[in-house]
Amino acid sequence: MNNWIEKEQPKKETIQSLKKDIKIDDFLCSLLLQRKVNTLAKAQEFFRPDINLLHDPFLMKDMKKVVEKIENSREERIMILGDYDVDGTTSTAMLYKYFKNINYDILYYIPDRYSEGYGVSEKAIEYAEKNRVSLIITVDCGIKAINQVDISNSKNIEMIICDHHLPGDQIPNAFGILNPKQKNCKYPFKELCGCGIAYKLITAHNSLLKNSIDISIFLDFVALATISDMMPLIDENRIMVFHGLNVINSKPRIGLRNFLKSINGRIDESKISFNIGPRINAAGRMKTGKIIVDLLVEEDITRANIISNEVEFLNQNRRRIEKDVVDKALKQIDNERFTNVVYGEGWNQGVLGIVASRIIEKSYKPTIVMTESNKDILTGSVRSVKDYDVYQSLSNCKDNIIQFGGHKYAAGLKIRKSKFNNFKNQFEDIVKDSVGQTMFKRSFSYDLLIDFSKLTIENIKIIRRMSPFGLGNRRPVFRTNNCFIDSKLKFLGKDDQIVKSKIKDKNGSQLPFICFDKKIELVDLQSSFDVLYNVNLNSFSGQEIIELTLREVFIKK
């Protein structure tokens, strides 16, 4: 249990000072202080994120000349070129809808994952040339498209790049680049996703219009992308996601309505992460991301239903294929190694990233899952573990890599098939050396040690208002010691893996719980145990009921 780590606790006098101002329980003040909310003004801003506090988009390098270029291109044809994941497709749909609304001649293009790969392809430029496009705006891609931009320029098609990925040593010779991570960009917030950058673009452009439009209607796109791309929910990300979720719940887009029908209650960040985001991604993984853009811009309900049914079919197929690949990949895991690098012939490229994440759940190490993109080249998805920069490790393997890109925790790469074993061993050695020969160990941090008596409906409503939760603002995790199962276990789900029952703490307070992955530990449990959990409010028969979601269990011997 030494891997259960309590977060740093605020000083008692600091808690009392905040409590005096905002009149809530001590433990709630502790939660706020852990999130750097230490005054009444900051609490008001935290609980009611103000859309007017978004940063000035013109602070972003190249923004002024980019929007002026777009405004001067009204008589020309513009093409939006986006990636095939949630971030890329929502960005593409948002820009298309915005510019269509103000009467631009606009079209969009999503590359095929299998025939073109990630980013700006020559095929996309050929498509633009064939359709007499004079300006391409990329979203969620392009920052490393050095050669492709040169090709586009040679055809007199200028390019504007909107990307949030880390730039390389050389940047493309584009007309303009919107990326807060590029050198000499003074934009104060560096953690926007591609769709967030695209929203800053339309914010800036809209401010130039004589008859500006209400662009807050596009914040649903930003919420979907920011959550699905696992960007930190702090600063303006939190503001945009907060208001974007309100848009989804109050006036859902026609293309999303079928996805929302099966979801009970309010759409929050967890329902985006586990329900809506995977469906959107499934199209790009299994067929083409263009289907999603078609769906998100569709205004006809009948047509939207047809497309969403196709997406649902693709998602079911994705889940089946994913399970098959996970089962095969797990057989290659070597528990003595510091990394998981697995390869399978004929594995579906679209599920490699999900499979890597699933493997980490079973074997907690930096993981790469690869398959062939042609007879000589392997393509792979990379996922990392907490606090380990896998992007840097890939940089140290450049002599065995053809191409790579991504973030600290997630990346993609291509290598020669003949170099697989060399790369696998080099990656293992670099990771092993960088962590000082100490094997990775999963740890679980929690906010507070409390008794169940603190968890009143009123207090949980305050906790719920701390959302949206995600990186940088995690859903609170509580610890309670010396608990007992206090009711017969019920088993739910396809394989009876979900456990429901009631739990009692040492003071006799009882609460219902649900647990998704600790069936083995809970069955026939007689002794006391300590538990880490989240707390929720569920509506049942018109009543709000407190329910714990158990995360980790430590059984006393």
- pLDDT for 191-206, tens place per residue? 999 999 999 999 999 9
pLDDT in tens, 38-57: 999 999 999 999 999 999 99
Average pLDDT, stretch 457-468? Answer: 95
| DSSP summary character for residue 273 | I
Report the candidate in 57, 51, 44, 55 with the shortest Cα–Cα distance to residue 18. Answer: 44
Confidence class of residue 1 from pLDDT cuts 50, 70 and 90?
low
What is the reported pLDDT for 155? 96
**545 close to 512: Cβ distance less than 8 angstroms:** yes
C-alpha neighbours within 13 Å on the C-beta side of residue 12: 0
| DSSP summary character for residue 470 | B
Report the candidate in 502, 500, 532 with the shortest Cα–Cα distance to residue 519. Answer: 500
What is the reported pLDDT for 495? 78
pLDDT in tens, 170-229: 999 999 999 999 999 999 999 999 999 999 999 999 999 999 999 999 999 999 999 999
Element housing 548 (H / E): strand 543-555
Percent of the chain with pLDDT over 70: 99
Report the candidate in 512, 514, 511 with the shortest Cα–Cα distance to residue 493. Answer: 514
| Domain 57-312 is found in CATH 3.90.1640.30 | yes
Which amino acid, 157? I
Per-domain residue ranges for the chain? Answer: 4-48+444-555, 57-312, 332-434
What is the reported pLDDT for 550? 95
Compute the mean pLDDT over every residue in the chain, rounded to the nearest whole number: 93
pLDDT in tens, 487-505: 888 988 777 889 999 999 9
Q: Which fold has domain 4-48+444-555?
A: OB fold (Dihydrolipoamide Acetyltransferase, E2P) (2.40.50)
Residues in the chain: 557
Q: Token pair of 461, please?
A: 């409503």
Q: Token pair of 478, please?
A: 């509580």
Average pLDDT, stretch 105-132? Answer: 92
The CATH label, of 3.40.50.150, 3.10.310.30, 3.30.499.10, 3.90.79.10, for the domain at 332-434 is: 3.10.310.30
pLDDT in tens, 143-162: 999 999 999 999 999 999 99
For residue 172, the tally of other CB atoms under 10 A from its CB is 24
What is the reported pLDDT for 488? 86
Confidence class of residue 541 from pLDDT cuts 50, 70 and 90?
low
Q: Token pair of 157, please?
A: 């098609």
Cβ partners under 8 Å of residue 455, min gap 6:
478, 511, 535, 546
Phi, psi angle pair for 434, to nearest 5° = -70, -20
Percent of the chain with pLDDT over 90: 81
Average pLDDT, stretch 59-68? Answer: 97
Report the candidate in 103, 108, 101 with the shortest Cα–Cα distance to residue 78. Answer: 108
